[in-house]
Structure 1
Amino acid sequence: MPGSPANRFRIKSPERLVAEAGADLEGHGLKRHMGLYQLVCFGIGAIVGTGIFVGLSDSVAQAGPAVVVSFVLAAVTCVFTAFSFAELGGAIPVSGSSYSFAYAGLGEGTAFLVGWCLLLEYGISVSAVAVGWSQYVNELLHSLTGWQLPADLSAGPGDGGVINLPAVIVIALAAVLLVRGVRESARATAAMAILKLAILVAFCAIGFTAFKHGNLTPFSPAGLGGIGAGTTAAFFSYIGFDAITTAGEEARNPRRDIPVAILVCIGVVTVLYCAVALAAIGAIGGSEVGGRSAALSYVVNQVTGSTIGGGVIAFGAVIAIASVVLAVMYGQTRILMSMSRDGLIPRVFERVSPKTSTPVTGTLIVAVVFAVPAAFASLDSVVNLCTIGTLATMAVVNIAVIALRRGAPGLARTFRVPLYPVMPLLGVAFCLYLIYETGWTTWVQFAVFLAAGFLVYVLYGRRHSRLVATTAEVTPDATAAETQAV
């Protein structure tokens, strides 16, 4: 109805989102290849990478040994929001993730801005992760051959170089693998996830052999302020767990498996991060870990007195960070595909190859666009902007849970947020706190970014939206059939 709230706010019903996602738009659709094991590996592949292998040193520099508390606080923020993602990911199993959840709960304008913010979480984070990858490539080359890439070819202008060639190469390799097909990408991600977990467990075993309690004192040299700043830095290590929900159209049983995969990933990663931080600081002290590039390799070299162990860690980091690039690029292409399907961005992003069942053109565009900041930007210049965009998106997802509980109480939910509405409200509060900790410079950059997104929506997205281009709703029979198929 023209005067209904759904039309006024351009809200798309969850049933319609699911039905449209299942429709074969051009005779070619995505294929359901991923089970629970693949989803868990995909989640770990998206999370564990630059944040722990590279970003740990920044977190330690802020918080000292109390970085363990920072990791726990960052995990708590993620857990509150993970419950919300689990509920919505099981109820609305589509590729759009946060964007689609916002469309169903808060309307098209908010959804577009969420999708715009996801360019930071997924797109810019690809650049940041690729920059971190090059640090460990150099460390690996040095441990194997004693030679490193010249600074001009392994760092952008912000880090004293000319172009970060390894960062461009890893993005290109991920794009090639993604266009080959989801089955191949899932297998590669699973293998890399297992390898990097094994490497981190081995690091903990080595680090704890040299553990000294005195290295943990003073525990919090910068006080609560340092812990807060460390939490913001540590949060980057958790970015990517929501990428699991972008596999909603390629999971075999998304309503059951997506919620389970999200919660398993957060639990495993939190325990692992705290163990790695304790092992690193306990072995050589926070002052030695803080601010050091390729910190984990350095710790192992110091403990073992040899570069061989550090080389193994560097090899694991190269694999680990490459898997993050692969998983996050996958998520970005699926979100853009959902936005394109709704008409809010050009249709080129929704085209799926009949040969590979993947959005080939969209993947190549994403690779080219985000290879540019990877080649020329420094890691520090993009991490905070990526973090604030992610936090804003997570806050919206928590609000969407509340909106959909009220607006769609009959929606089939395979998982429900416990202690509702306390949990989602706490999720919003923790997100706002970490946004505050990013600092005013990041706030200004983010405000400019949002303003640009609003202009794009007004000038293009709103005019081309397919939601208002047709007044025909999905029929109940079609919706029921699709829901049963899912």
Structure 2
Amino acid sequence: MTAAIEPGVAPAAEESAKLQRHFGRFDILFFLICTIVGVDTIASVAGAGGEAFTWMVVLAVVFFVPQALLFAELGSAFPQEGGPYLWTRMAFGHLAGAINNFLYWVTNPVWLGGTLAISAVAALQVFFNGGDAFSTPAVLVISIVFIWIAVLAAVLSFRIGKWITTVGAFARFLLLGLFTVSVVLYAAEHGFHGLGASSFAPTMGGFVALVGVLLFNYVGFELPSAAGEEMRDPKRDVPFAILRSAIASFLLYAVPILGILLVLPADKVTNFGGLVDAMKSVFTVYGGSVTADGTATLTGLGQLLGDLGAVLFVLCVLTSGVTWIMGSDRALAVSGYDGAAPRFLGVLNARLGTPVRVNVFSGIVSTLVLVLAQVITQGSAAKFFGAVLGVTISTTLISYLLIYPALWKLRRTMPDAQRPYRMPFHRPLTVLLMVLLAFTVLQLIAPGAPFAWFGADYRPDGWKASEAGLYLATELIPVLVFIGVGVLFWALGAPTRRANALLSSRPADEPDAVLAE
């Protein structure tokens, strides 16, 4: 594994020398909006009813804002490439970094080949196929093309790739702005047919059912820092971008979710196609009609705007996948040349400055997930969507259990590091984040525990009381497998760790040994 290393140059220094600085302040801002605002999960929140909006507001205060403050400090104080991986490794060592980083990375190709691809298919079905389902071969073809377009976008240098995420951010502004205006016009013409005020009352059962997807919607502030050495001025730009993206992202979530809840009849809000269905219904104000049973038909300008909305929706879900693949693939590549993954994965393209090998690896994993899930669910798109979303949420959130406390640990082990921004009240706020995260992970794996494990008020839809053991295995086994792969990656990275230790001025395992800038 070390035979190809240039004599006298450590793997970390060799690869980081290929990085190119193209990532400016507003590039980071638009990248974050694409990262955090996932239109594929808007319907999953709205489908839970009015209390979903209530809990979304509560968690914005107690989770979203503290998390933004935490990553504003980490991203500006430690702006090296690899961000979330590097912080974890610096705080807790290579083994913890390897396991955590694999959990962080693997969810993204699963998400790309799962919920994102199938959400794009849903939009195309509704607006371009008369609402009829595509055949399984057609779904596979559309989804595979979708996956590899995202991979190609991730392969491109940030000099070009950053414009893709900028377009994605403006697609969100246009889509959700058009939807919001249409909701107001629809309500003025037809009245409100959605939920009453009483449905917004919060309940514990609703919180358990919602907390996973809400926290999943609210994570991602750390992702641009995976490209820290490609930023022009991370110490200034990271806090700037995080603050503004937090405000914009909350509004981009809150307004359309409230619109769906107030306008669309409750029995028409589904996890799978809720936003797309709501778009079709409200766009009838421009041309079309809605029957007594809620079926919408678009004509004239309504059809034109519907088609535009579908294209914007697909662009939004595509750029969600692109940003997460761009960031998480860089973190995995850094772990490869830092000794926490196979050296083969830790190679950057000399011309593009991007981790092409990991990008292709992500595309292969996404394609396998897509094909396997379609076969297992026998082409049931809604079932496919729910199954993949559950695995993605649980694995993603578990990875933050070590990323968050890294701030606290690094405050102690590296007190002299320059911190242009410092998180206020970092101890109580970090504890709050950890408690919320730990409770959420517990509920994802064992809903209702410890007070009413798999009880009627906490059991996921579609599951029976007798299937508690099966559900537990479904949630635990993938996590245990991923942890095992992380340990394997750590073992395969041993030669690279030795090379870095021998060829660098300081041992690679020293807590404050960071990658060369």
1:327 aligns with 2:323: yes
Q: CA RMSD in A?
A: 2.9
Give how far 1:183 is off: 1.2
Contact 2:98 2:341 in 1 (8 A): no
TM-score by length of 1: 0.83
Distance 1:249 1:121, change over 3 A: farther
Contact 2:99 2:487 in 1 (8 A): no
SS state of the match for residue 215, structure 2?
helix
Give how far 1:197 is off: 1.4
Quote the Cα distance in structure 1 between the aligned partners of 2:483 and 2:153.
35
Distance 1:121 1:265, change over 3 A: farther
2:484 to 449, 452, 456: 452
Quote the Cα distance in structure 2 between the aligned partners of 1:383 and 1:328.
15
1:410 aligns with 2:399: no
Question: Structure 1 or 2: larger helix share?
Answer: 1
Quote the Cα distance in structure 2 between the aligned partners of 1:255 and 1:27.
19
Contact 1:122 1:331 in 2 (8 A): no
Quote the Cα distance in structure 1 between the aligned partners of 2:16 and 2:324.
27
TM-score by length of 2: 0.78
1:103 to 62, 85, 89: 89
Give how far 1:423 is off: 1.1
Aligned residue identity for 2:52:
V
Give how far 1:243 is off: 1.5
| Aligned position for 2:280 | 301
Distance 1:446 1:85, change over 3 A: farther
1:127 aligns with 2:113: yes
Distance 1:41 1:315, change over 3 A: same
Post-superposition CA distance 1:13-41 (Å, at most 9, x none): xxxxxx989x7515951110011110111
After superposing the two structures, state which structure 1 stretch, 417-426 or 76-85, moved more. Answer: 76-85
Give how far 1:456 is off: 0.9
2:247 to 267, 279, 285: 267
SS state of the match for residue 164, structure 2?
helix
Quote the Cα distance in structure 1 between the aligned partners of 2:170 and 2:316.
9
After superposing the two structures, state which structure 1 stretch, 353-362 or 325-334, moved more. Answer: 353-362
2:358 to 362, 365, 378: 362
Quote the Cα distance in structure 2 between the aligned partners of 1:227 and 1:173.
36
Aligned residue identity for 2:134:
P
State the percentage of identical aligned residues: 21
Q: What are the ranges of 5 or more consecutive residues in structure 2 without an aligned counterpart?
A: 1-8, 289-297, 374-383, 447-471, 508-513
Q: What are the ranges of 5 or more consecutive residues in structure 1 without an aligned counterpart?
A: 1-18, 156-163, 476-481
Q: How does 1:36-185 map to 2 (within 5 A)?
A: 36-49=25-38, 52=39, 54-62=40-48, 64-75=49-60, 76-128=62-114, 129-142=116-129, 146=130, 150-155=134-139, 164-185=140-161
Give how far 1:149 is off: 6.7
SS state of the match for residue 470, structure 1?
helix
How many residues align? The count is 445
| Aligned position for 2:396 | 390
SS state of the match for residue 379, structure 1?
helix
Give how far 1:78 is off: 3.2
2:312 to 309, 313, 316: 316
Post-superposition CA distance 1:126-174 (Å, at most 9, x none): 22322322222323422xxx4867321255xxxxxxxx32222112112
Contact 1:348 1:362 in 2 (8 A): no
After superposing the two structures, state which structure 1 stretch, 442-451 or 101-110, moved more. Answer: 442-451
Post-superposition CA distance 1:398-443 (Å, at most 9, x none): 2111111111111111111111211111111111122122133264
Contact 2:104 2:399 in 1 (8 A): yes
Quote the Cα distance in structure 2 between the aligned partners of 1:320 and 1:149.
21
Quote the Cα distance in structure 2 between the aligned partners of 1:301 and 1:134.
15
SS state of the match for residue 229, structure 2?
coil
Aligned residue identity for 1:40:
L
| Aligned position for 1:229 | 209
Quote the Cα distance in structure 2 between the aligned partners of 1:209 and 1:466.
65
Quote the Cα distance in structure 1 between the aligned partners of 2:177 and 2:65.
23
